[in-house]
Structure 1
């Protein structure tokens, strides 16, 4: 069960321009370009990153980047280094690696994600899930942070 909790900071993007400049959101899901942006960034690419964090968390049972200190968490996200347990299927590992790329232009698009073999292996439903056994860390903390203040 996936529960959407708040949509108060959502944008409906119309047309080809998906540039955003706000820095709201949950620190654990923020993309590197938002942390580094002095101006605008691609909202679609940032959403793909957040989807990758969510997918990783669902499949592995912990965040790919985690720390109780916001500055340390943001540093880990900026570096973009994380490990994927070998217990996940090769297709799941490939998909996560293809989404959680530091450079937005290197990430899969939403269409490419839906066409990825991990989804196609199960008839498009994404049921080809490989869970990491013994990897779950359910008590992880996401730091409370005002991202605009933390990034100043």
Structure 2
């Protein structure tokens, strides 16, 4: 697929105005802030209404100084993840992926505001605690739309890496939106093989839990989508453990138990999505034509032509057209440091060789 330039334009605003009227209503630029929708590890999400269009949005409010201090693994921090999320969301344009409309980021303020599409249906299921399962029809509808959204991401060479019920939202018309691209992986070339792991433990694949040196990011997404479908159908995850280490061990070693009380076709799909061997795990293309997904062919899963986009490292670094308060946005630090190390070693080898030659000539 040829890479295409995105026609999507995200508004970037460097001026920030926070005001309050006589009635106590609070405003951020052209948005009236209404109430808190949720709280995450990195900040709050608030409902807001545009003062002119009256459209509703979800505004993610992030504190940049805190994000910089929050380490993610050995080589990055939470701020870099947000920059990557912004870069990805600037590019993606699909009805089943959450849309970003504006980034408000003043050089004089510590807070950054991401103005996002508002999904008034919220998460299809929240949290990881056991709850009432969805009906089979509901689970099928949500999974069908999730497959389309995830297929689009994979076509853009993006693995989500944190597929779970709370990251799948619905709007008032029932359209499903995959959200939260903070730990997404972007790869170059044809191969999606990686050694970098991320996500929520209960939704991680066996190969990720085993610490495989290389594994398919796309196949790991399919496993997570399988656990998500299991959650829809049974109201909980396949494995329950007291600690993360126990969870990893169970996912690696213990068989997935799928009760026989469900539709045999659904059971078949779950068993193929939750295949421990990633080489035998079902692909998204095969899922699209699975009889449970298509209702035995009566409801084929249609998708439009997917244009392959590209999110470059430079675009991640400059996701906002200004280095945030002189923060160093070090994207893919490990890879870059390796390249620098190899370059330095090469230069030292050349100098050493030149010195040896000079010495032999004297």
Q: TM-score range by the shorter chain?
A: 0.7 to 0.9
Partner of 2:164: none
Contact 2:256 2:274 in 1 (8 A): no
Aligned residue pairs: how many?
Answer: 125
Q: Deviations over 1:63-87 (max 9, x none)?
A: 0112121111111100241211222
1:90 maps onto 2:253 in alignment? no
Aligned counterpart in structure 1 of residue 201 of structure 2, from 8, 24, 27:
27
| 1:55–1:35 Cα change, 3 Å | same
Name structure 1 gaps, 5 residues minimum: 126-152
Aligned mate of 2:286, from 107, 112, 115: 112
Q: How does 1:1-150 map to 2 (within 5 A)?
A: 1=124, 2-3=168-169, 4=178, 6-13=180-187, 15-121=189-295, 123-124=299-300
Shift >6 Å, 4+ stretches: none
After superposition, give the CA deviation of every residue in 1:73-120 in whole Å (9 maximum; x if it has no partner).
Answer: 111100241211222100000000011111100100010111111111
Partner Cα distance (2:193, 2:203) in 1? 18
Write the distance in 2 (CA, Å) between the matches of 1:103 and 1:115: 21
| TM-score, with length taken from structure 2 | 0.33
Root mean square deviation of aligned Cα: 1.7
- Aligned-pair distance for 1:13? 4.1
Query: Structure 1 residues 15, 111: CA separation in 2 closer, same or farther (over 3 Å shift)?
Result: farther
Q: Tell me the TM-score normalised to structure 1 length.
A: 0.75
Larger gyration radius, structure 1 or structure 2: 2
On the 8 A contact 2:206/2:251 being kept in 1, the answer is: yes
Query: Conserved in 2, the CA contact under 8 Å of 1:80 and 1:100?
Result: no
**Matched-pair contact (CA < 8 Å) for 1:79–1:102:** no
Distance 1:72 1:12 in 2: 30
Instruction: Pick which of 68-77 and 90-99 moved more.
Output: 68-77
- TM-aligned CA distance change 1:33 to 1:117, over 3 Å: same
Distance 1:88 1:14 in 2: 40
Displacement, 1:32? 0.8
Gaps of 5+ in 2: 1-123, 125-167, 170-177, 302-362
**How has the CA–CA distance of structure 1 residues 14 and 116 changed in structure 2, closer, same or farther, with 3 Å as cutoff?**
farther
